[in-house]
């Protein structure tokens, strides 16, 4: 999660007339500020961009040899062996302790209230929930928690989760120790043991998030930042380096030539990302070479302006050889001093593993599914190793203009980030327009297939087909292309927020009231 510490400056309550599409971004409400007595931030506002990687690791007893001995030939998509140690709670505390001003009890008060009292289920969430009924019904504790009355909640119905409220209260009172120790940890270890897993109390209690230096590239004068491996963020930066070799603005917004370049850049960048990205504590991802501008210029020559590639080979760096071959939320916020947080968290597939430790109210994720059992690969499963993560918060800036953004959607994310940046830099869109614009996505890693949103003109889609792209048109405003949010602060100190209409997010001028502290 990139975190930008800005110099203090005044804020405006509304955007200027020429930017009326952007709502003022989130800031602390006056009611909350009056009630609370925040401590001083532990770190000066230095203008520095920080990165925090709170992804969890594999249990210490989980190895490729163990899975192969059980007849498992590839990492399972579901089940206990796809579960890695949850990292979000440790990440919340690391962020709060270093850069926050409120105690954990106040931060979690509203979430506890809604878990206890219930919240109305939106249309979008209800539809997704219903589609996961069979998955939840297969796990008794998941069914008990998430299928009240034996079915998924319908749109408009209140959903309550008192067990989750209890788990959050333990965190509010005891910090991470209330999750990685005590009854919550006991429940996680017990369900793992019951299902043949290897997770131990030490795997939970010894997890530590990592403060990291964000990676960056420049794109036509803008600095663009992503978190380093084990995330896929490097693919977005590589795409931008490749796209920079072509005059996309001259090709026109939603022009077929521009889309062709971006689709081909996606293929090249993802080939390298899938070949080389792994946990940097275990594997040496060649980041400097992958982000080298000269390398991008050479690699861009592989993009045929008249034909779509069906397969691309990854690059070779530093003598390395090549081998053959959602359930996410994102938020961005600006505080009254102009500090920006870009944060994303996920349990991967819908309801993760669907394994709910009894009495906790939450499902364990299945992020371990992204490991490989090929022990020669940088992303090979190993004890206490973090898998490749699809979730990536992002940040871009030029001069005094700073934008925090993210677009959910598994392996769609990096390619959507590159399109968002191009919409702003090449086509002059504001952050709301940049999110609303039609997108493409290619969820496969070979072939010429590509999904293109019908917001892209028919003529452009037809021209892509003549170039050899196997275009499938998808109705607009669906989850196929991910869901994004963004905030921006410009040189005048005005703050803006934008929310993708493909989902049920919102740009909120002020945070909702904070419910009372826990007793």
Residues serving a catalytic function are 328
From the list 246, 284, 282, the residue with the least C-alpha distance to 418 is 246
Nearest CA to 501 among 75, 21, 15, 16? 21
Please give the Cα distance from 373 to 63 (Å, whole number): 9
Give residue for tokens 């991910």. 482
Sign of CA dihedral 4, 7, 13, 16: negative
Contacts of 145 (CB under 8 A, 6+ apart): 161, 163, 356, 361, 363
**In the beta sheet, which residues pair with residue 495?**
489
Which tokens sit at 361? Answer: 């109210």
- Are 485 and 342 in contact by the 8 Å Cβ rule? The answer is no
CA distances from 500 to 155, 395, 486 (A): 20, 17, 9
Cα dihedral 276, 277, 283, 289 in deg (nearest 10): 60
Q: Answer whether 213's CB lies under 8 Å from 51's CB.
A: yes
Nearest CA among 206, 217, 169 for reference residue 515 = 169
Residue with tokens 């502290």: 517
Query: Comparing C-alpha atoms, which of 80, 81, 86, 76 is closest to residue 63?
Result: 81
E strands along 378-435, which residues? 394-398, 401-407
Among the listed residues 411, 416, 372, the one whose alpha carbon sits nearest the alpha carbon of residue 391: 411
CA distances from 434 to 123, 260, 405 (A): 24, 19, 11
Q: Is 476 helix (H, G, I), strand (E, B) or coil?
A: coil
DSSP state of 518: P
CA distance 412 to 434: 16
Query: Which candidate, 288, 274, 295, places its Cα nearest to that of 230?
Result: 274
Q: What are phi and psi of 17, to 5 degrees?
A: -60, -35
Q: Are strands 222-226 and 328-334 parallel, antiparallel or unpaired?
A: unpaired
Residue with tokens 């760096």: 317
DSSP conformation letters of 131-155: HTHHHHHTSHHHHHHH-GGGSPPPT
Q: Do residues 295 and 472 lie in contact, with contact meaning Cβ atoms separated by under 8 Å?
A: no
∠ CA 513-514-518, nearest 5°, is 155
């Amino acid at each position: 999660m990139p975190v930008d510490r800005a110099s203090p400056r005044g804020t405006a309550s509304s955007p200027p007339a020429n930017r009326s599409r952007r709502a003022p971004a989130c800031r602390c409400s006056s009611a909350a500020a009056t009630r609370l007595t925040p401590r001083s931030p532990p770190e000066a506002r230095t203008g520095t961009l920080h990165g925090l990687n709170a992804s969890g690791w594999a249990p210490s007893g989980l190895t490729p040899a163990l899975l192969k001995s059980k007849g498992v030939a590839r990492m399972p998509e579901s089940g206990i062996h796809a579960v890695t140690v949850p990292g979000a709670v440790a990440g919340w505390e690391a962020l709060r302790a270093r850069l926050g001003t409120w105690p954990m009890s106040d931060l979690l008060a509203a979430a506890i209230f809604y878990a206890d009292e219930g919240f109305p289920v939106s249309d979008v969430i209800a539809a997704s929930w219903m589609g996961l009924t069979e998955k939840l019904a297969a796990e008794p504790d998941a069914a008990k928690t998430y299928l009240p009355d034996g079915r998924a909640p319908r749109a408009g119905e209140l959903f309550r989760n008192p067990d989750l409220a209890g788990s959050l209260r333990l965190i509010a009172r005891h910090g991470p120790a209330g999750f990685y120790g005590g009854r919550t940890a006991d429940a996680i270890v017990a369900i793992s043991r019951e299902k043949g897993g290897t997770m131990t109390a030490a795997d939970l209690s010894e997890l530590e998030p990592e403060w990291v230096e964000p990676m960056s590239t420049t794109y036509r004068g803008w600095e663009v930042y992503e978190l380093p491996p084990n995330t896929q963020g490097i693919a977005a930066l590589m795409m931008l380096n490749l796209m920079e070799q072509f005059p996309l603005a001259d090709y026109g917004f939603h022009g077929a030539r521009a889309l062709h370049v971006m689709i081909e850049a996606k293929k090249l960048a993802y080939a390298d990302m899938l070949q080389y990205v792994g946990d940097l504590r275990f594997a040496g991802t060649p980041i400097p070479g992958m982000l080298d501008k000269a390398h991008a210029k050479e690699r861009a020559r592989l993009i045929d302006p008249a034909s779509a590639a069906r397969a691309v080979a990854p690059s070779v760096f530093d003598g390395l050889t090549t081998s053959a071959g959602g359930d996410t939320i994102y938020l961005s916020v600006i505080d009254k001093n102009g500090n920006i947080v870009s944060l994303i968290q996920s349990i991967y597939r819908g309801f993760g593993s669907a394994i709910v430790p009894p009495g906790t109210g939450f499902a364990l994720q299945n992020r371990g599914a992204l490991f490989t059992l090929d022990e020669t690969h940088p992303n090979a499963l190993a004890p206490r190793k973090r898998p490749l993560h699809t979730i990536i918060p992002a940040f871009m800036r030029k001069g005094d203009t700073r934008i925090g953004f993210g677009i959910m959607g598994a392996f769609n994310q990096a390619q959507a980030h590159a399109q968002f940046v191009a919409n702003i830099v090449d086509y002059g869109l504001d952050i709301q327009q940049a999110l609303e614009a039609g997108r493409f996505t290619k969820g496969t890693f070979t072939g010429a297939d590509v999904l293109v949103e019908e917001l892209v003109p028919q003529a452009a889609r037809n021209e892509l087909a003549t170039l050899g792209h196997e275009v499938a048109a998808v109705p607009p405003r669906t989850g196929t292309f991910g869901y994004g949010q963004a905030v921006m602060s410009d040189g005048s100190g005005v703050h803006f927020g934008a929310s993708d209409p493909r989902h049920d997010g919102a740009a909120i001028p002020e945070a909702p009231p904070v419910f009372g502290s826990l007793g």
